[in-house]
Chains A and B, each alone.
Chain A
């Protein structure tokens, strides 16, 4: 079972290496490039985790696509009028 998974992963890693030309690089270059790609993926996933939910909500409400639920609706009006709920 573990063998099968390892085989599967090594097959796909070889394909990845061949397609991105990592196959011909020396080990330190491979580590460098893989490191850069891992850092980029890590940064992208962190920012997705941290900012995407809030951003999605505010984007949908900007286009008036959210259901009129209680809290969101108030939030929506406040957002549209550009003022806080206490203003009126």
Chain B
């Protein structure tokens, strides 16, 4: 310890939260450290979060469609409608017909059934493809052919193993082997397959209680409640938080579950332009000034509903600006972190950690376990008061069946791995790999000259193809080349913006991504996908570099 009269300083670094002693020239300094995933974080006021928000430079791109492409897309749709009308006139569709219904009002919406039968049906083989294996980095698709252009399908009996760029498997926890799978199988032996009861009756078991505690610790808030279904979490909890007389500001591109929940609640909904803070402020101001619809009274509650990562755009919400607005106008904030929990941030804690904000500032944190944890279900996290209220008043807690034990155990194990509680660096490795994969893939695609939307850090990459026929062509050609992707068209996206959505994963290796990118390069040539009119970056793309090296 002492050598030649000089006292060496040494630090004893212990386990989480244990204070260490720092000897320096006789002065003892006691500091508390918290070690998780090998990263040492200072603890301040009992919480291990930086209260200073990082100034993050958002690099987002939403390039405009070239005019020629827009015109031809519309013309293509007109042609489709014309031929659909011709088909409808000349041939009877190959669908079930109702008997003895003369004079009755048709059961289905006319335009929807027309679109389904004469537009969607033509490329229907690109969707609903059955899979025969776990959707990890590679997935096995069951082949099927159609002899009558999409009305019926037959299985050929063969299966194709493809690189999986379509599943929400951000951290690669969709595996059949490994600690998660083993512990989930053990949970079935311990607790059975189903709870057979809602949470408020006989549905809570020790697994769910532990999971809720772990979720709250993961997010850095007081308490959390979990539900069996992610969509149901949104749709069934918003009605219990809001009612008529409340004001909701919801982003243009919010998910269907949020829209359903908001409509069910009966609150007044005002929509603001996607990720546009000026428009949000304008709409908020106007709505507050006007008051409730007929009585002009002040609103009972104001809630801003946004998502962390928008899955169709790949854009990340501007959280610091929204928090400022929220404080200024005394509104509550609801962030749906379905796609970013586990995928964003240095330790995978979602969009709040990505921006360095305090999770106590966001009033209601919602997320799903489907994407990064390889499981199913959703959670809501926040202050204990909020969660106690939801435990009693939420429709999902009262009527929906509780989360099944193996599902809960899978989430518990994967979350412990991400947090580093299993003692390995596996969680951090997965988060880093996802970050490297995301940057690398996006940079390479931009270099190729295709238009991709979204923030450079979002693992959801929408590749714009615009035309309806190209969605079908790209998905089919990629499937032939052993890559499975998801094509998205109208009504999920605007009419003119057909896209191919690629979801990256920590399970993908650089070699797999390189092979996929080569295929994309060939397809961009043969099918004509290079729409970008901006200058293409010429510097070589490095793997494993997260910040631009000057």
| Chain A residues close to B by CB (< 8 Å) | 11, 14-15, 17-26, 29, 33
Quote the shortest CB–CB distance from B119 to chain A (angstroms): 8
| Contact among B75, B83, B87, B470 with A18 in the assembled complex (CB-CB below 8 Å) | B470
**Cα distance A14–B476 when bound, in Å?**
14
- B residues in contact with A24, CB < 8 Å: 80, 122-123, 468-469, 472
Residues of B within 8 A of A22 (CB): 79, 469
B75-111 CB contacts (< 8 Å) to partner A = 75-77, 79-80, 83, 87
- A78 → chain B, closest Cβ, in Å? 46
Other-chain contact of B80, A15, A17, A21 (Cβ < 8 Å): A21
What are the interface flags for B319-342 relative to A under an 8 Å C-beta threshold, 1 for contact and 0 otherwise? Answer: 000000000000000000000000
Is the beta-carbon distance between B468 and A14 smaller than 8 angstroms?
no
- A24–B120 Cα distance when bound, in Å, is 10
Give the complex CA separation of A51 and B376 in angstroms: 71
**Are A21 and B468 interface neighbours, CB within 8 A?**
yes
Contact of A21 among B77, B87, B149, B526 (CB under 8 A): B77
Asked, given contacts A11-B526, A15-B528, A25-B122, whether A20 binds B76 with beta carbons under 8 Å apart, the answer is yes
Q: Would you give the shortest CB distance from A7 to chain B, in whole angstroms?
A: 11
Instruction: Indicate with 1 or 0, residue by residue over B460-495, a CB within 8 angstroms of chain A CB atoms.
Output: 000000011110110000000000000000000000
Inter-chain contact A23/B473, CB cutoff 8 Å: yes
Extra pairs beyond A20-B75, A22-B469, A24-B123 (5, CB < 8 Å): A18-B473, A18-B527, A20-B76, A21-B77, A21-B79
Docked-complex contact B149 and A33, CB < 8 angstroms: no
Taking CB atoms, residues of chain B closer than 8 Å to A18 are: 467, 469-470, 473, 527-528
8 contacting pairs across A/B (C-beta < 8 A): A14-B526, A18-B470, A18-B473, A19-B528, A20-B75, A20-B79, A21-B77, A21-B468
With an 8 Å Cβ cutoff, the count of chain B residues facing the other chain is 20
Q: Which of B121-142 contact A (CB under 8 A)?
A: 122-123
> B470 to chain A: which residues have CB within 8 Å?
18
The CA of A35 and the CA of B131, in the complex, are separated in Å by: 41
Q: Could you tell me if A21 and B528 are in contact, using CB atoms closer than 8 angstroms?
A: no
Among B123, B469, B473, B526, residue most surrounded by chain A Cβ atoms (within 10 Å):
B469
| Residues of A with C-beta under 8 A to B469 | 17-19, 21-24
Q: Does B72 contact A (CB under 8 A)?
A: yes
Residue of B467, B472, B526 near A19 (CB, 8 A) is B467
> With A24-B472, A25-B83 as given contacts, are A19 and B122 in contact (CB-CB < 8 Å)?
no
Chain B residues, CB < 8 A from A29? 83, 87
Chain A residues contacting B75 (CB-CB under 8 Å) are 20
Q: In chain B, what residue has the closest Cβ to A26?
A: B149
Query: Inside 8 A of B528's CB, which chain A residues have their CB?
Result: 15, 18-19
Docked CA distance A23–B469 (Å): 6
Alpha-carbon distance between A73 and B469 when the two chains are bound, in angstroms: 57
Beta-carbon nearest neighbor of B119 in chain A: A24
CA distance A24 to B469 in the complex (A): 6
The 3 A-B residue pairs with the shortest CB-CB distance, nearest first, are A21-B76, A23-B469, A24-B122
Give the docked Cα–Cα distance between A19 and B75 (Å): 9
Contacts of A23 in B (CB 8 A): 469, 472-473
Interchain CA distance A20-B76 in the complex, whole Å? 5
B517-550, CB under 8 A of A: which get 1 and which 0?
0000000001110000000000000000000000
How far does the Cβ of A61 sit from chain B's closest Cβ, in whole Å?
37
CA distance A84 to B91 in the complex (A): 61
Q: Which residues of A contact B527 (CB under 8 A)?
A: 14, 18
Instruction: Give Cα A57–Cα B473 distance, bound, in whole angstroms.
Output: 48
Out of B72, B122, B123, which one reaches A20, CB within 8 Å?
B72
Q: How far is the CA of A73 from the CA of B87 in the complex (A)?
A: 58
Give the nearest-CB partner of A15 in chain B. Answer: B528
Among the interface residues A15, A18, A25, A29, which one has the most CB atoms of the partner chain B within 10 A?
A18
Closest beta carbon of chain B to A33's beta carbon, Å: 7
Q: Which of B47-84 contact A (CB under 8 A)?
A: 72, 75-77, 79-80, 83
Which residues of chain B from 333 to 354 have any CB-CB distance to chain A below 8 Å in the complex? none
Rounded to whole angstroms, the CA-CA distance of A26 and B123 in the bound complex is: 11
CA distance A19 to B469 in the complex (A): 7
Q: Give the residue name and chain of the A residue nearest to B76 (CB).
A: A21
Q: Whole-angstrom distance between the alpha carbons of A23 and B470 in the complex?
A: 8
Chain A residues with CB under 8 Å of B468's CB are: 21, 24
When distances are taken between beta carbons in the complex, the residues of chain B under 8 Å from A33 are 79, 83
Residue of A nearest to B476 (CB): A23
- Whether A19 contacts B149 in the complex (CB less than 8 A), given A11-B526, A25-B83, A29-B83, comes out as no
Q: A35 vs B122: C-alpha distance in the bound complex, in angstroms?
A: 21
User: How distant is the Cα of A11 from the Cα of B526 in the complex, in angstroms?
Assistant: 7
